[in-house]
Each structure stands twice: as C-alpha cells, then as structure tokens.
Structure 1
Amino acid sequence: MNKEGEDSSKGIGIKKIAVKDSPAFGKRIGTKVVHAGEQVNPLTKGIVTSIDFSTTFAYERAQDWADVFYHGKPGYAYSRHGNPTRETFEKKIALLERGEAAIGFSSGMAAIATTFATYLCPGDEIVVTDRCYPGTRHLLNQYFKKWGFIPKFVDAREIENVQEASSKKTKLLHMECPTNPTLSLCDIEALGKLAKDFGIKFVFDNTFASPINQNPLVFGADIVIHSVTKYLGGHSDVLGGAVITSAEERAEIMNSAVYFGGVMSPFSAWLTIRGIKTLELR
C-alpha cells in the first residue's frame, strides 16, 4: 500500500477513509447517530444528506480522473469504487462502531462473503460459532467448502472450545453475540485475546446488538460486520450491509468489494442514514 492509499499490486486506487476529523467524533451516541459523517451541503446549504445517483463523475482532464481512479486521490470516479452518499453512511457507521473506516455493501451476506474471501485461501480454516446466522453457515458449507476453505463450527459459549479448534491453519475467527436468531452469548474480550495470541483475524457480526449496546472493536475484534437490513435501517425498507475496521483493512476489503461488485447503492445508503438517526430512540 503506498502513501496515497493505492494498492499498486492490484492496479487500482482505493481510498483510506478515516473519520477522526468528523465534528461528531468523541460525542455521545445520541449525537453521533444524527450528525456523524454528515455536513451541510456547500452548494445548497441543505442539512440533510443528498442522494447522488451518479455512476460516473466528470473531470476537465483525463489525468485528473485517472489520479482518482488509479492513485487514490480524493474524489469520485465510478460509484462502484466510491459514492458521496455511500461515503456519508460509511463515515457514520464507522464512528458509531468506534472504527477508523467502513464499507457499505448491498446486503449483510455480501459484507460477510466479501470479507471472508479477502482473507481466506484454499486450505485455510475459519472457526465459527455453531449458532451463527443460518445464511453464514450455508455460505460456508455450500460454497466456501468447495473452494477449499475449511469451516470449523464450535460452541463459542466456552472459550476452551474455540481454543481447541484453532490451529496454525486458522486465518479467521467469526463470532456473533448475541447470535441471530438464537441469542446465544460469548465472551468477546476473551475471544479477542485468543485471536491475538494465535495471530488470527477476528471478525464479529454485531447485527443483533447494534453499536448502541456494544462496540466489538473495543474488545479486540479486527473487523465488525452488520446487516443494516435489521436494526440500523429500522424500517424494513432497505437491504444493506457494512464492514467496519481500520483504514488499512478497509483498503484490502474494498479491493475485493470492487471486483465482487456487491457495494451499497446510493438510495440504500440514504435510507440507512435516515434509519440510523432514530436508532438510539428505537
């Protein structure tokens, strides 16, 4: 990764979007859900985030476009890579989860599949709570297995079970707490310590708790995933997902998201931004 945020090995510029400069950084959660990631429109002075449906963006010179598309210069070139409305959502959810950066996806499953595929290679193991979301289990058993990834499902209520299942081949630890839909619990902090000791990347699905109730990144998770379809959207009118992590990890996962193509649409981003504003009240 170069200093401008370009992953030169993949030949495409991916911005590192960090959020510590947001006016809502450090504020209480009720302020964050309303204001985080948002700003007054400099042209219209509107205080509500606009929906930018543009798929492409115009520049006076081809080189200016190339600097954004290939070299990670701030700006927008093509909405699969970055979109103003989606970026507002990404900044908001990153602040709520106390992360550095985020990616908006077309669904929670798109977020999960893209994250797993970013870090797993044939022969790698992933240790997963045996009470995980059924869609996650199906994805691993029906598709990732035939691609050579090895899922190991364990009762994560006891940390010893996770420890016994982990090995040098284990690359990812994927947990939920509470789980969807059985509401099973686990010790997030203990799992975070275990993952660090083993050198395993810790992925955590925080959909059911939401950032109102817990922030897994604080307890040792490396990557947090959401299906925004549930509590974040809140109105049963939007499908979406999110990944929250460090700026460095975001660049890696975003490279995968660009080519798998499952990014969040501008309208879904706007609906989720609207839904999040009432999250604390709900």
Structure 2
Amino acid sequence: MVKKAGLAILTAVTLWLSAVPVQAGDPFRRKPPRPIDAKTEQVFEQVFIYGNYSQARSILTELLAQNPKEPLVYALSASIAYLDGDLTNMAQAAAQTMTTATALQKTDPLRGHLYVGVAHFLAGGVVATENRKNLLLVVPQLLDKVQVALGEFDKAAAVNPNDPELNLIRGFADLLLAINIPFSNVGDAVNRLQNSGAPPYLVHRGLALAYRDLKQFPDALAEVDKALIAAPNQPELQYLRAQILVGQQNYIEGVKWFDQSLAMEAQLPPALVRQIRRERERAQRRVVAAPQ
C-alpha cells in the first residue's frame, strides 16, 4: 500500500502538472500570472496536451543548459527520468528542484514552499524505487518525507489558500493519499480539486484517475471525456479511457482505445508503451474468450 501510494503521489505531483494555456507562461492563473517562462509552458503542452515526450525532452535539454531558476523545470525533468527508469538523473533533478524552490521562497513564498514539498515527494520516490523489493525497511523515511511535504503545502496555503496551482497539486496528493490510506476522507480531497484547482483539463484528469482507482467507473468515464475535449489526441488520456472501459467490462471498446493510444507509441516512453501493450493483450483475451 505504501509503495503504491508513494509512487502514485510522485507521478501525480509532477507528471500531472499540465495545462491548456490560459496566460502566456503561467498555465494556472489568469491574473495575476506568475513569471513562468514560455519554454516551460511548451514542455507542458508537448507532454500533456500532445503526449509527445520526444519534443518535451528536446525542450528540457535546452532549458536545463540555461540553468533555470524555475523549480517546475527540474520537477518535470525528474518525473520524465522516473518514467525512463533513470534514478540517477531523477535524484539530481529532485535535488535541483529543492535548491531552486528554496531560493524562490525569497520572491515567491507560495510557489517556493509548494515546490519544496514537491521536491520531498520526488526524493521519496527515489527512495521507494531504489528499495521496492524491501520497502518496509524505508517506510518510516517515506512517511517522514510525506509529512514534511504536506507541511510545506500548508506554508504555501498560509500565503493564499485559494491559489489554483497549490490546490491542483495538493488536490492530487490528497486524493491519492485518501485512496490508498484507510479511513481517509476522499470527499474533502475531491472538493479541493473541484473547487480550487486549475486548469479544468487537469482537474478532470485527476478526478478520472481517482474515480478509476475507486472503481467508480461511470464517474471516471465522465471526467476523462471532459479532459479529452481539451486534449483529444493525448495518448495517455486515450489509455486512461481504455482502462476505465475495461473496468466496466467493455473489452471491445477498451481495445479500440488502447489501439488509439498505441498509434502514437513513437512519442511515448518505452516503459509506458510496454504497459499499454500488456493491458491491451489482456483485454483482447477477454474479447476472444467472451461468448458470442
């Protein structure tokens, strides 16, 4: 359970930081925007609107060569390294997220504390992945990092509890903790994401993931369809829709959506493609085995 929650939160607070552009440079706020540069916004678009990791890596390479002061750049770099199974670069990027976020606290305490929290989740992801065969040995360390991260989120909320970027990230983290830890309040987490998170595209994606894990498949399908309106050619959203359909035992339609996602496999991380193929094959076996 701890492994599932830890790795899920790691992915949530980094890879799901995507957006449909609302204001140049800042995909989270209409006004006043934060000074997030246009190149960083391009990474959002390539990964999360188009699902094109090749283009995202190219942009990140250019950004990292410039030694940016934006912690989100390093958080995205860490999360892509995680997908690639590159723990060395992931750990380095997590450390750079921490350094730049700490420095940012002087001029933007909200985002500074927010990304210090993200950095702790990233560091926890490195520890969890390195020790996945003996996870019980590092549970106290992981729980400590979660507590520290949540404390940093609270410090950010003290600046502005209604900030959409904060509530998007905190909403994802709260949802995944609530789903994976007994007696947690899922309703509060859903309300935070629905009422205060932005952009709407990411809110719908996060809710779809949460409802999928809760096996509330009609709600999950409604949310992923809303996300697909904003990003209709996003292969990971197509993959998510396939998973939800399989959860409803609609294997024929599920296979179709797996195939749509795999049609763009060249732009996805190889490990993700392998996972989609495995799930597609299982669904196809169900189609073949079903009575005609």
TM-score, with structure 2 as normaliser: 0.29
Question: Which of the pair is proportionally richer in strand?
Answer: 1
Question: Which of the pair is proportionally richer in helix?
Answer: 2
Higher RCO by CA contacts (8 Å cutoff, separation 6 or greater): 1
